Amino acid sequence: MVVHRSKADAWLIAVLAISILAALYGAIVVAARGSIGDLALAAFITGIGAALPLWLMLSTRYTIRGDQLLVQCGPFTWRIKVAEITGITPTSNPLSSPALSLDRLRIDYGQRASLMISPRDKDKFLSDLEAARRGAA
């Protein structure tokens, strides 16, 4: 099993950090009102506005385990059989994907499915994926 962390662009980390700070500020303002309902709302704001971006930042990774590529990003998980990968191309497509950088790889698999990822060390990732592909053949 080989785990590759996502490369992270500074601008995206800044956007996520600002959203976390804004959520925390909002929660503090609401909690300052002091009622039980306000405290519950503050906890909800913090949970959604701060915890989710933090979860995405800390959990985005790509694991090659046997004949599968496991892509994890917060609450989302993709399982791709290495043998079903039909192509891998570099891209900087900004569409939403389990990647914390615009320095991405587009993985085409199955019938017209694709996913963009951003491993920190693309060359090592590709080498590990090729080794898994040879092992699965």
Predicted pLDDT at 127 = 97
Q: What average pLDDT does range 61-87 have in this prediction?
A: 97
Number of structural domains the chain divides into: 2
Confidence grade of residue 137 (pLDDT, cut at 50, 70, 90): low
Would you say the pTM of this structure is higher than 0.95? no
Burial level of 63, CB count in 10 A (0-12/13-18/19+)?
Answer: middle
For residue 30, give its domain range: 8-58
Of the candidates 76, 45, 78, the residue with the CA atom closest to the CA atom of residue 59? 76
Q: What is the pLDDT of residues 10-34, one digit of tens each?
A: 999 999 899 889 888 888 888 787 7
Is residue 125 in some structural domain? Answer: yes
Q: 94 and 51 in one domain?
A: no
Tokens 């990968």 belong to 85
| CATH number of the domain encompassing residue 98 | 2.30.29.30
